[in-house]
Amino acid sequence: MDVDLLVIGWGKAGKTLAGRYAAAGHSVALVERSPKMYGGTCINIACVPTKDLVVSAEQRRESDDPAEYFAQSVAGRDALISKLNAANHKMLEKPNVTLIDGTARFVRPHEVSIDTADGEVNVTASKIIVGTGATPARLPIPGADGDRIYDSTTVQHVEPFPKRLVVIGGGFVGLEFANMFAHFGSEVTVLDGGDTFLPAVDRDVAEAVLDALKAEGIRVESGVKVEEFSETADAVVARSSAGEFEADAVLVAAGRAPATKELGLDAASINTNERGFIEVDDQLQTSVEGVYAVGDVNGGPQFTYISLDDNRIVWDAIVGDGTRRRSDRVAVPNSTFITPPLSMVGMNEKQVRESGRKVLVASKPVEKIAAMPRPKIVGDTRGLFKIFVDDDTEEILGATVFSIDSQELINFVSLAMRLGAKVSDLRDGIWTHPSSTEGFNEVLGELEPLT
């Protein structure tokens, strides 16, 4: 088979490019090795299903049995994902698109062999998109393959429900799951290998997050490096220099590795970096002309909205005027869905101090923002707003919002930064009431020099 565009992996960038290119009249083949992954990582095992579980966990009442409630929540999650999976497949059931279930392997730079249930299929294409994503990293220690050891995918169907859960990793993924399972009713302990809790976050913010986690009954131990797992008849033990931690299940949330092992990249002379991620240029082209790597597999920020923007860059490279670049991205926000959510964009305090700028800062606990009654109405006044501004230009340099609705508020700040808005545009804006957005009116009216 020869096509104009071959897409390997049904992720956000790949599926979007496949649909757009086919609609423009070109022949497209899309390869996915698992029917469970139609639509990509985000809708099947990551963003959507985990946030569905987060919301379910937050709605659990004290009277709800944890195990029964978790089982019901997982069933709801599965029903939702099944619909999304099928809908994503249907989106690409269209003229000019050939959908192939199988595992792809490069045999030459522009030729791929696909192992399918009906035998081997060879596909050649002038343009190839690699979007195979990343998978949870495993700990290289004894016992890591035990039956009670889970990763961020498998723990979503953990059985039986763990009354005690140990989470290995104090990063954002680990904290989301720790918070979720605490709400489901587990006794949760987080073992963070680093000496500093959330090192990329300002210390006052990190302390506020830690306080919120402790209020949920979550125990966080920093500087704990697990050396071995062992299992008893009804428990698993994580052994470390700091002692032993016993639980019913362990979640390993220690980063992600690129899904490139079966791709045969050497046969195509496609270069990877020291961590195994595919190396790309500023337009996401690999070391082979006409072959692009998009999404998590290229080692960039692992967010589905980055994958969507990868689609825009590649589309511009192959169809447009070729001016769009990965380095054009500014003010890219992120949110961690603990309770309340933690969201950030731009510089943190360490970075603004090192920037050499004259900086103003506004920082205020949510519970003290008088002009923002929504948290009081909802019943969660934890968290804080913290925003940095260039004193000379009124440019917004960065923000952290740890509050209800922060996943929406941070997009607002991000847009203001990308448009070059002044801090006064946010401070003096007219916002609906009662809303979380109006917190900017009060907080930004209290800017003071960063000392």
Judge whether 267 lies within some domain: yes
Annotated catalytic residue 433 = yes
Residue 241 scores a pLDDT above 90: no
Last residue of a domain, one of 225, 254, 283: 254
Per DSSP bridges, beta strands 219-222 and 291-293 are: unpaired
CATH number of the domain bearing residue 244: 3.50.50.60
Last residue of a domain, one of 254, 284, 306: 254
Judge whether 144 lies within some domain: no
Judge whether 142 lies within some domain: no
Task: Write out pLDDT tens, residues 61-92.
Answer: 999 999 999 999 999 999 999 999 999 999 99
Task: Write out pLDDT tens, residues 353-391.
Answer: 999 999 999 999 999 999 999 999 999 999 999 999 999
H helix count then E strand count, the chain:
12, 23
Judge whether 388 lies within some domain: yes
pLDDT of residue 312: 98
Judge whether 101 lies within some domain: yes
Judge whether 141 lies within some domain: no
**pTM beyond 0.85:** yes
Residue 282 scores a pLDDT above 90: yes
**Parent domain of 230:** 149-254
Residue 419's Cβ-count burial label (10 Å; 0-12, 13-18, 19+) is: exposed
Residues 168, 186: one domain? yes
- pLDDT, average across residues 443-451: 97
Residues 95, 40: one domain? yes
Judge whether 114 lies within some domain: yes
Judge whether 143 lies within some domain: no
Q: Which of 89, 157, 183, 433 is catalytic?
A: 433
Buried b (16+ CB within 10 A) or exposed e, 360-376: bbbbbebeebeebbbbe
Last residue of a domain, one of 224, 254, 284: 254
Task: Write out pLDDT tens, residues 20-53.
Answer: 999 999 999 999 999 999 999 999 999 999 999 9
Amino acid at 122: N
Residues 90, 205: one domain? no
Domain count across the chain: 3
CATH number of the domain bearing residue 365: 3.30.390.30
